[in-house]
Chains A and B, each alone.
Chain A
């Protein structure tokens, strides 16, 4: 069964800490995405990547960065966590071409910043 795996399901961090959220997919997908999910706001795109070492800002990139050193792995980095970054973070991937807008999601990482 194909998968998008997010290594941490629940994290609790303190304000100012550096946070790494890891995502790995085993489908050989070119595209990978990080979304943030908040109640009443749906999903909002933080960053995405179409290829190794390539990244593009989404709708809410402020306070975040990403890294894609290998095709299968896409990391989200919070350089200095703040309480307003408490949220559910969802990683997704998709193939290129006609299937590019059909996403496969991970189970999510729920981050609490104290």
Chain B
């Protein structure tokens, strides 16, 4: 069985300050982990993925995430928030190679203020 918990439903940061979106997972096997972003009225877009290579994964738009097996975490970070980062972010876990076994988190809405 697998599950994913996004610890914050809403996060608000000021433009230019760091972003931290938290995700914990549960998996019986070595997981693949993903972060997707959804801008208003748009579909989901892949930000980055972890598939058992380097534990620090770099994605698009300056985002990165670190896989920490001991903490079962895969938190998403960005050093400096931009207004265009305002969106909903989903953490996703998969323990097989098939997309039919993806489990999505409930999402974290990121607000960026001036």
Contact = CB atoms under 8 A, between A and B. Distances in A.
Interface of A: 4, 9, 31, 33, 40-45, 48, 56, 58, 90, 92, 94, 97-98, 100-108
Interface residues of B, number: 24
Contacts of B45: 105
Contacts of B106: 40-42
Contacts of A92: 43-44, 99
Interface of B: 9, 32, 34, 36, 41-46, 49, 90, 94, 96-102, 104-107
Contacts of B49: 102
Nearest to A6: B43
Given A40-B9, A42-B90, A48-B99, A103 B46 contact: yes
